[in-house]
């Protein structure tokens, strides 16, 4: 395992930007009536770590393959782990029907193993964490940037550069979600991108198709800003998850080499999948009863 650089746990001073917020909470002039309570603001969290003092950027995803920057702010710091890494996307007028790119860079992870307990020392994070999000999902609040959204980003980044349509990108993200999570996290009766961007690593580890400890390499690769390693792990996790989907979760182990996934099924079976297109795996060979009677 590669070493992750640890830094001291000095507090990070964070300036939270809230453009336009004052006009929402100031009482109306004149009269003595108490203004009605407003609904909670749409919020997001860089839950990877979670990260305090990270630079959070919001980009528009344009049809011409460009990504104009719309807004920048800094994620929150707090002694309470649950209050670390938060940001507010309200300064951006998000279109519910469009996809946006959220990117968090730098910062300190205060709970790198994501067990809900603050670490004795923070962990310096050199690499970015991304999420591709439909505006409607961000507007609802409780948006999470995690290792899971980073894997999803790496699996479709080429589509953004190659100017695939938004519908094609969103369809790919929804299909990838089915390969990575198995629970309906947002409770809308289906599994899609909305579940991925609400996946909370401290609460939903059991919702993953692949065991949480197998995501450790992704964490280290992000921390060290090794984009090649992150991309490799993103492909491995996505393609290996195909096997779980293909064989109804009766999978003991998966080894991916190139475009082939070699799958140990239960205790005595073995399968080979062509995962050139992880959304449409091709079953090349399945053997059962191996080792029986010995």
Range 260-285 average pLDDT: 78
Given a cut of 90, whether residue 46 has pLDDT beyond it is yes
Q: Is 223 exposed, middle or buried (0-12, 13-18, 19+ CB in 10 A)?
A: buried
Q: 219: phi > 0 → left, psi -120 to 50 → alpha, else beta; which?
A: alpha
What are the percentages of helix, strand and coil residues in the chain, rounded to 5?
A: 30, 25, 50
Instruction: Please tell me whether the overall predicted TM-score, pTM, comes out greater than 0.75 for this model.
Output: no
pLDDT band at 240 (very low <50, low <70, confident <90, very high): low
pLDDT in tens, 98-124: 999 999 999 999 999 899 999 999 999
Q: Is 82 helix (H, G, I), strand (E, B) or coil?
A: helix
Q: What secondary structure does DSSP assign to 7-66, as a single string?
A: ------------TT-HHHHSPPSSSSPPPPPPPPPP-EEETTTTEES-EEEEEE--TTS-
Given a cut of 90, whether residue 271 has pLDDT beyond it is no
- Peptide bond preceding 11: is omega within 30 degrees of 0, i.e. cis? no
DSSP state at residue 281: -
Helix (H) or strand (E) holding 157: helix 147-161
């Amino acid at each position: 395992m590669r070493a992750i650089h640890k830094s001291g746990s000095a507090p990070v001073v964070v300036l939270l930007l809230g453009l336009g917020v004052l006009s929402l909470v100031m009482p109306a002039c004149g009269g003595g009536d108490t203004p009605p309570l407003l609904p909670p603001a749409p919020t997001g969290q860089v839950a990877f770590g979670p990260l305090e003092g990270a630079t959070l950027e919001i980009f528009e995803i344009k049809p011409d393959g460009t990504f104009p920057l719309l807004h920048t702010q800094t994620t929150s710091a707090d002694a309470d782990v649950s209050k670390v890494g938060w940001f507010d996307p309200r300064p951006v007028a998000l279109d519910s029907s469009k996809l946006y790119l959220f990117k968090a860079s730098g910062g300190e992870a205060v709970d790198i193993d994501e067990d809900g307990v603050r670490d004795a020392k923070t962990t310096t994070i050199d690499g970015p964490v991304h999420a591709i999000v439909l505006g409607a999902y961000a507007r609802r609040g409780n948006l999470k940037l995690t290792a899971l959204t980073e894997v999803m980003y790496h699996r479709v980044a080429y589509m953004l550069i190659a100017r695939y349509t938004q519908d094609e990108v969103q369809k790919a993200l929804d299909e990838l979600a089915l390969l990575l999570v198995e629970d309906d996290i947002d409770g809308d009766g289906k599994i899609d991108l909305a579940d991925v961007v609400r996946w909370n690593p401290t609460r939903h580890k059991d919702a993953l198709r692949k065991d949480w400890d197998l995501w450790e390499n992704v964490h280290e690769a992000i921390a060290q800003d090794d984009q090649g390693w992150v991309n490799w792990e993103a492909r491995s996790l996505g393609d290996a998850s195909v096997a779980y989907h293909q064989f109804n979760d009766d999978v003991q182990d998966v080894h991916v080499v190139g475009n082939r996934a070699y799958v140990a099924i239960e205790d005595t079976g073995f399968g080979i999948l062509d995962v050139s297109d992880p959304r449409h795996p091709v079953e090349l060979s399945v053997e059962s009863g191996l080792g029986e009677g010995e």
